[in-house]
Chain A
């Protein structure tokens, strides 16, 4: 990578990180409040009556899923709002006229979303310590899964923002696709509780692989094969990464 490109990426990342910290009450605080409510209601109040799930008490079981849910929502939300905002207000042109390569623009934006996703993940993990003790089975699986998942949803947010023409368009995917996938992705339950048919249906949900791999990093248990899960997550990174680069290369939704 040339020093010129590196300066460009670091400038874009600095800009994004500054923005995220400047508006922390919109970027970092809401998931902390939402997840605290989940911990109180599902973990403490309802969870205490559920008993064990996958061999662990319910609160310990849902913590990795809820952390992952917050990371997914924040990474996607950051990219879609930041990039669509730049497109809508036309200041994305600052980047389009610059000599920064397309992959560098994408890297800068994804890094910003990754920062927000990881910050939110860390905050939610710290909050969960007020409700339960966290055990760590394999820290490298935890870190690699959360980073890869955040990248997948940052790229998804980028594609959504590139095609969006109005603010409604950036609300549709999170509401009608992202939330159902996350809720049905094994955050709150083990798919072993489901009938055979619904277990098989669940396997087409990519979020299931991310949540289960992440949970495996904490608890050492998973509904699915961790190796297969890594393969699927990495495939999503590559495919969505290529689509995003192609969008920038062709200027789809950006250049007339």
Chain B
């Protein structure tokens, strides 16, 4: 992780953030996190890891227990109004009035941020058009499809032209075509200088869009680095080879491979091994490779390993503390 010394380069600077809910649940256990201005930053974590609590605190929907949050050098507690004015939020759940029209939802949100009505309506048109919703501007929102509702929330979050846009699983439940068009939109607004914090379950989304990534689990940041560096830590990749005929035992034994289906095998290839040698072995055994692909998303593989490891450690800590208490 890069060492950052100048506050002005940080869109978000979080120090020792703790959140304990009234029922005693400690959702955040001293989180430190920095997001550089102008970047698309990925925040990953399993359900219940603390992502939404963290986002809720940054966007003033959740009260922090202790710690410090700054946006472009402004303290959230001391200058809440200024910080709020910098942030646009696209939450995970639909949180607009289903009986209102998109044009009213977006223009009213601009009004709450102090944008005069005339300008608000101009911006509403701009963002509804960019998100392909202008045709639906007078439709009662309840009647929009899931993807349209999600795009409506993005238009609403953009209408105050925030310096920081927080997207909490923005592409959940939308088809691949719309997802890709939303990626383009996100890249476009990031190119215009908006800092974007993205949480997602689609790890390819993070890999595609983001430079830096933080993985949060059990209320702690377990990894905070660049995606490039993270992927370097992957020492084994699993490949699927489609062959011209059914693989025999000799080939499986020679490659230490597994049968996937009739004409396909899968094998784990260490980073140290050259793929050419695999092809040579297959060729020598008398098979032809018709196609080849990765078994799983590389980042997903890493993410699962990291979370499993963290869960084991957390369980061990719990056992130790219970043992100590006994």
Contacts and interface: CB of A to CB of B under 8 A. Distances in A.
A154 B160 CA distance: 30
Contacts of B108: 11-12, 14-15, 94
A4 B82 CA distance: 12
Interface in A87-126: 89-91, 93-101
Chain B residues touching A, majority SS: loop
B193 interface: no
Given A97-B60, A97-B61, A256-B62, A5 B95 contact: no
Specify which of B62, B82, B111, B156 lies most central, judged by the most chain A CB atoms within 10 Å of its CB. B111
Q: How many B residues touch the partner, as a band?
A: 20 to 34
Contacts of A96: 60-61
A226 interface: no
A99 to B, nearest CB: 4
Nearest to B111: A11
Contacts, number: 81
- Ordered nearest first, which 4 A-B pairs have the shortest CB separation? A11-B111, A4-B114, A98-B112, A90-B95
A86 B97 contact: yes
A51 interface: no
20 contacts: A2-B114, A7-B111, A7-B114, A8-B114, A11-B117, A12-B112, A14-B108, A89-B98, A90-B94, A91-B96, A93-B89, A97-B59, A97-B87, A98-B112, A98-B160, A99-B84, A99-B112, A99-B113, A100-B112, A255-B61
B111 to A, nearest CB: 3
Contacts of A15: 104, 108
B184 interface: no
B62 A94 contact: no
Main secondary structure of the interface of A (DSSP, over half): helix
A3 B113 CA distance: 11
Contacts of A89: 95, 97-98
A201 to B, nearest CB: 40
Contacts of A251: 63
Contact of B95 (A2, A8, A91, A101): A91
A98 B296 CA distance: 41
Contacts of B160: 98
Contacts of A11: 108, 111-112, 117, 120
A10 interface: yes
Interface of A: 2-5, 7-8, 10-12, 14-15, 18, 86, 89-91, 93-101, 251, 255-256
B243 interface: no
B190 to A, nearest CB: 21
A5 B59 CA distance: 19
Contact of B62 (A3, A90, A98, A255): A255
A8 B97 contact: no
Contacts of A256: 21-22, 56, 62-63
B81 A7 contact: no
A97 B84 contact: yes
Interface of B: 21-22, 56, 59-63, 81-82, 84-85, 87, 89, 91, 93-98, 104, 108-109, 111-117, 120, 156, 160
Given A3-B114, A94-B95, 6 more contacts: A11-B111, A11-B120, A89-B98, A91-B97, A94-B108, A101-B81
Contacts of B115: 7
Given A5-B114, A8-B112, A10-B111, A99 B95 contact: no
Q: Which of A3, A10, A89, A97 has the most CB of B within 10 A?
A: A97
A12 to B, nearest CB: 7
A3 B91 CA distance: 28
B21 A95 contact: no
Q: Which of B60, B89, B120, B156 has the most CB of A within 10 A?
A: B60
Contacts of B62: 255-256
Q: Which of A91, A99, A100, A256 has the most CB of B within 10 A?
A: A99
**Which of A11, A91, A251 has the most CB atoms of chain B within a 10 A radius of its CB?**
A11
B89 A97 contact: yes
B114 A95 contact: no
B243 to A, nearest CB: 53
Q: Taking each of A2, A8, A86, A101, which has the highest tally of chain B beta carbons within 10 Å of its own beta carbon? A: A8
Contacts of A5: 114
A217 to B, nearest CB: 36
A18 B96 CA distance: 16
B2 to A, nearest CB: 29
A98 B109 contact: yes
Contacts of B120: 11
Contact of A98 (B21, B84, B116): B84
Contact of B116 (A7, A95, A100, A255): A7
B89 to A, nearest CB: 5
